[in-house]
Amino acid sequence: MKSNTAETRRRLLVFLSAFPVSFCSVSSRAQPKQLELSSYFHGETLSVNGAQLFADKATEDSAGTIRISLEAVPPWVPFQMMSKASALAHYCAPDFADIEPVFGLSALPMLTAAFDEAETLLRIARPYYSSALARHGQILLATQPWRPVALWSTFRIRSVADLQGILFPLSSYVGEKAGWGRTFIRLGARHASFSEAEVMLSNGYTTNMKFTREFAYFTEIFLAAQLNFLSVSREVFESLTEAQRHVLVATGLNTELSQWKLKRELVHHDHQEIAARGVPVAAQPPADVLATLRTAAEPDIQSWAESVGKDGTAILTDYRRAVCRE
């Protein structure tokens, strides 16, 4: 995993180096502005790796006027405290849907079916994300997608009938709030322990490699691609010079581009590695499975829209019109 992480960092640094901030090429003699980027994740993960690359690139492109250090902090810090205490913050947006319901959008089940659709949803929702963050004194600099949620099973899934009566364990905390488990329960799945599970959901590369030893089949259903946010305190942002603010904004946009590109590539690599370990990969599940899962997920999508209000309805309407799924 460490070698993969090192290679990932190398590739991203090459990508980001193509976006220099030209007017910051003259080094300043003033003391650099020290900024701390608090990442609310634990361990050496691809998410944290992306935040570190942002910190490194922004420090480099500021020509010595900004120095950003990355600090991993406990993920259970309340959002109100985090938004006040962190100059720069990096966190899973759906974790704070109880504070701002719109943050739960990217975790909704079966709303998007591919990275292109997830990016379309982000484009439509971004102004709403920014407005919600503004209420907490934050400015959105970058988003970072998680690996799309996929399905592992002990049997080959040929039709939606194969999902009826399956033994299905509870999902993660975020997954349950977003309705991942409820989607399958509506199809007749039965609650079970992890040891009894016939079907499991996974949205992590490390977990996927572990599941190759426990399940016989892998199906890419793109149930959801949650978003991480990287935001900056408005108070801190406004204390910077115009050139320094430009560095943060430009580096955020370029980091976001690289992270979305990386996730697309890693999903393809993921499929290759899973297949190499002897597990058949269904990159495109049966059409009736996807259609039925979307129908089963719709109550939770509508519940989210109601919790957000008219903005939620507007987001869904604009998105479904954009992807021709009205």
Tens-place pLDDT, residues 288-325: 999 999 999 999 999 999 999 999 999 999 999 999 98
pLDDT in tens, 188-242: 999 888 889 999 999 888 888 889 999 999 999 999 999 999 999 999 999 999 9
| Mean pLDDT score of the chain | 88
Q: Which of 274, 291, 312 marks a domain boundary?
A: 274
- Determine the Cα–Cα distance for residues 129 and 122; give it in Å rounded to an integer: 9
Three-state DSSP class for residue 142: strand
pLDDT score for 303 = 96
One domain for residues 20 and 97: yes
Q: How many CA atoms lie within 13 A of 51 on its CB side?
A: 27
Give the span between the Cα atoms of 34 and 42, in whole angstroms: 23
How many angstroms separate the CA atoms of 231 and 239, rounded?
Answer: 15
Asked whether residue 211 falls in the same domain as residue 247, the answer is: no
pTM over 0.95: no
C-alpha 222, offset from chain centre:
12
Closest C-alpha among 146, 259, 151 to residue 208: 151
Q: Which residues contact 4 (CB under 8 A, 6 or more apart)?
A: none
Pair 9, 112 in one domain: yes
Q: Which residue type occupies 223?
A: L
What sign does the dihedral 201-202-208-211 (CA atoms) show? negative
- Taking the C-alpha atoms of residue 152 and residue 281, their distance in angstroms, rounded to an integer, is 10
Q: Rounded to the nearest 5°, which phi and psi values hold at 145? A: -80, 150
Q: Are 228 and 118 in contact (CB under 8 A)?
A: no
Q: Which range marks the domain in which residue 136 is found?
A: 2-146+226-274
| Pairing verdict, β 88-92 and 33-39 | parallel
Q: Could you say which of 236, 257, 274 is where a domain stops?
A: 274
Q: Is 117 in the same domain as 129?
A: yes
Per-residue confidence (pLDDT) for residue 177, from 0 to 100: 80
Shared domain for 114 and 262, answered yes or no, is yes
With CA atoms as reference, report the closest residue to 91 among 38, 45, 148.
38
Return d(Cα 310, Cα 194) in angstroms, integer: 39
Instruction: Locate all alpha helices (DSSP H) within 21-142, ordered by sequence.
Output: 46-61, 79-85, 115-134
Please give the tally of structural domains in the chain. Answer: 2
